[in-house]
Chains A and B, each alone.
Chain A
Amino acid sequence: MAIAIDNAGIDGGNNGGSTSSLSFAFTMGSVSNGLLIVVFAGDTLGGNDDVTTVTYNGVGMTLAVKGTNAGANRFLYVYYLPNPASGSHNVVINVGHNHYILAGAASYSGIKQSGQPDNTVSGRTAGALTTLTETLTTVADLCWTMAVFGGFDSNNPPSAGAGTTRRAKDGAFGTWGLFDHNAAITPAGSASLTATYPDAIVIMGAMASFAPAVATDTWPVPPLAKPDLSHFALPWVTV
């Protein structure tokens, strides 16, 4: 089963920084082997890296990767949940102190339901630049890669670079964008996602790869041929 996009991404808004929670509605399709990805920017670097729970429909989500690189704008987080309930339910993010929570989400089908993520990486630009490319090595064949890129550039959100599709963005401040490769990585190996901003800023990224539910390749079965048994023929012996 190949991985495919389900809900192509939403902006969940933000809490204005004066509370320690944010809830937003997300609609999951009726898909096989679903995966919910929630990304968000949290407190400023040097502040509180203090996420306590992330849930969807009351079910706890798991941290895949986070960006904590000094010099960047805000902590970035990628959480995931296999087999999320279909329909519209709430994502609820709780943190330990009052600070901004700026969040979004997207969902996929055809994802392996255990042993995820396949691989992760996080990093930031070396100084102020307009582009950041995150690269990891996928382990399983036919993975998809997803990432959150973040920074602050005069309320401009990050755009997708080569080989990258943006699914959602922070519409208020442009602090984050949710991206994926929009195709399977095959064979397994190096995979990159790239985000760009109009102006040079410190950009941070946190990226994960997710393996497909099952291998999509099936070996063709050739038609059975009548066996050639001629070489088993024994000479008749006359006695």
Chain B
Amino acid sequence: MSDTIATFTMPTPVVSVPFALRAAGDHLFTCNVPVPNGLRFARLTILLQDADKLADGKVLSWQFAFSSDGGATWQFENGSTWTSYGPGGLIVTDPDGTVHVNADPTLYCPLDTRAGQLVQATLTLGQDLQAGALIEIK
């Protein structure tokens, strides 16, 4: 399954993928506009329902990849695997002090060497799940 994100809107780019029931397996979110110069990072947030975050045993993984040949090939950049928090939940404090209660899974990827390349995020669901995705670049 592939959802193509049309554009990044500068200078405060926020791109969202609709919140919907998504099937287990891979979901690709590809930006077809090259990364602009002078950016620091991309942030991918997987939007989930609190009930799923507080459940037991929900699993997903997500990753960033880049293409320097117009999307013909993609190189993995970074990724992580998330497991639902269980009833106890989780409080995450960012290095800048921002506090997230039952934080949505988030991944940061550097962009300072990626100008001109295409960026793609892959969400792999271990089970059917209500999920959206938000990609921001800064």
Q: Which residue numbers of A lie inside 8 Å of B, CB to CB?
A: 10-19, 21-25, 41, 44, 73-74, 88, 90, 98-100, 102, 152, 154-155, 171-175
Contact B77 A13 (CB under 8 A): yes
Q: Is B19 an interface residue (CB 8 A)?
A: no
Contact B95 A98 (CB under 8 A): no
Complex-state Cα separation, A67 to B80, whole angstroms: 24
Contact A21 B92 (CB under 8 A): no
Using known A-B contacts A16-B92, A19-B80, determine if residue A171 contacts B75 with beta carbons closer than 8 Å: no
A-B pairs with lowest CB-CB distance, top 4? A16-B106, A17-B92, A24-B78, A11-B110
Q: Is B108 an interface residue (CB 8 A)?
A: yes
Complex-state Cα separation, A10 to B106, whole angstroms: 20
Contact with A along B72-104 (1 / 0, CB 8 A): 000111111111010000101111100010011
When the two chains form the complex, which single residue of B43, B77, B82, B83 contacts A24, counting CB atoms closer than 8 Å? B77
With a CB–CB cut-off of 8 A, which chain A residues contact B110? 10-13, 171-172
Q: Inter-chain contact count A-B, CB under 8 Å?
A: 97
Using known A-B contacts A171-B40, A171-B110, A172-B110, determine if residue A16 contacts B96 with beta carbons closer than 8 Å: no
When the two chains form the complex, which single residue of B76, B92, B112 contacts A18, counting CB atoms closer than 8 Å? B92
Complex-state Cα separation, A19 to B45, whole angstroms: 13
When the two chains form the complex, which single residue of A18, A100, A154 contacts B90, counting CB atoms closer than 8 Å? A18
Using known A-B contacts A13-B108, A16-B106, determine if residue A23 contacts B95 with beta carbons closer than 8 Å: no
A11 and chain B: residue at smallest CB distance? B110
Task: Please give the distance in Å from B122's CB to the nearest CB on chain A.
Answer: 13
B77 and chain A: residue at smallest CB distance? A25
Contact B108 A98 (CB under 8 A): no
Q: Is B118 an interface residue (CB 8 A)?
A: no
With a CB–CB cut-off of 8 A, which chain A residues contact B43? 16, 172
